[in-house]
Amino acid sequence: VIGVVIGKTDVRSFPDRKNIGTERYTFSFTIRDSPTYFINVQSWGREEYIRSLTESFRVGDCVTIENPLIQSKEAEREEKFNPVTPSCYKLLLSENHSVVKTSSRYDTDTRLLSLLHLPVKDPQDYYSLGDIVANGQSLHGRVLNVLAAVMSVSE
């Protein structure tokens, strides 16, 4: 699978239920290969493997994923922590079988890089900040998608 990384989580650790007293590490990222399709990729493993993998690329890089495991996603559980994707699957990276390669800037397809700036939500599924201000009371308690731009950053 070849795509541009459009999102990435931080490394997290959890107690390993199989090996009491040890930790398992994970992180996930989302890749996109067309305006319509993008998929979440999850990796679990030893701390050294996960930290090395997460440091090997960043958002905006084009990557090639070799030998991922394809799994059905559990939409309710997984979409709490990852972007909602149009696929009912996710990719799982295995330390022993999967490889992630980053393309150099010279090898990167400009069509893939243009996908980095496309929203992942339907353009009709957003509220403007003006709508929220005007209708805030009726929207209270609802989860909303907001599309906004940062105008300035200061201390």
Q: What band does 131 get if pLDDT is binned at 50, 70 and 90?
A: confident
Quote the CA–CA distance of 114 and 119 in Å, as a whole number. 11
Q: What is the pLDDT of residues 52-99, one digit of tens each?
A: 999 999 998 999 999 999 999 886 666 666 777 888 899 999 888 999
Residue 31's contacts (CB-CB under 8 Å, 6 or more residues apart) are: 1, 3, 4, 5, 6, 38, 39, 41, 63, 65
Set out the domains of the chain in order of their start, with CATH numbers: 2-114 (2.40.50.140)
pTM assigned to the model: 0.77
Nearest to 11 by CA among 44, 56, 59: 44
